[in-house]
């Protein structure tokens, strides 16, 4: 069995399995970390950490959204910087 036949028969399933494991790991790692934190330091600390992380995620989203709008206006608005 050569490599191309192997990839045709088994390789794409193996690549799909690796991709699914990576996605599950990326999603599960923060959840497992939060559970470990709650068990180790208590519910209030875990809830406070979760609220802090969510707050900074929303704040970062607002900052990046404003930056994207400014860049879009600068680079893609044909009337930007021209007098009327």
pLDDT confidence band for 80 (50 / 70 / 90): low
Can you give the pTM of this predicted structure? Answer: 0.47
List Cα–Cα distances, 31 to 6, 25, 28, 57, in angstroms.
36, 10, 5, 16
Does 16 lie in the same domain as 6? yes
For position 82, what pLDDT does the model report?
67
Please enumerate in sequence order all residues whose Cβ is within 8 A of that of 17, keeping only pairs 6 or more positions apart, or say none.
Answer: none
Question: Which two structure tokens, joined as six digits, stand for 69?
Answer: 């709008």
- What domain range includes position 21? 1-41
| C-alpha to C-alpha distance for 10 and 32, rounded to whole angstroms | 32
Does 33 lie in the same domain as 48? no
Does 28 lie in the same domain as 49? no
Does 48 lie in the same domain as 36? no
Domain count, the chain: 2
Q: What is the pLDDT of residues 12-46, one digit of tens each?
A: 888 899 999 999 999 999 889 888 888 888 888 88
Half-sphere CA count of 7, side-chain side, radius 13 A: 3
Does 18 lie in the same domain as 46? no
What integer is the mean pLDDT of 53-65? Answer: 88
């Amino acid at each position: 069995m050569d490599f191309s036949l192997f990839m045709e028969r088994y390789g794409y399933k193996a690549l799909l399995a690796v991709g699914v494991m990576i996605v599950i790991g990326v999603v599960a790692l923060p959840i497992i970390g939060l559970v470990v934190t709650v068990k180790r330091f208590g519910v209030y600390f875990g809830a406070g950490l979760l609220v802090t992380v969510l707050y900074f995620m929303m704040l970062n989203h607002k900052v990046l959204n404003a930056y994207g709008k400014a860049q879009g206006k600068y680079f893609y608005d044909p009337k930007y910087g021209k007098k009327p």
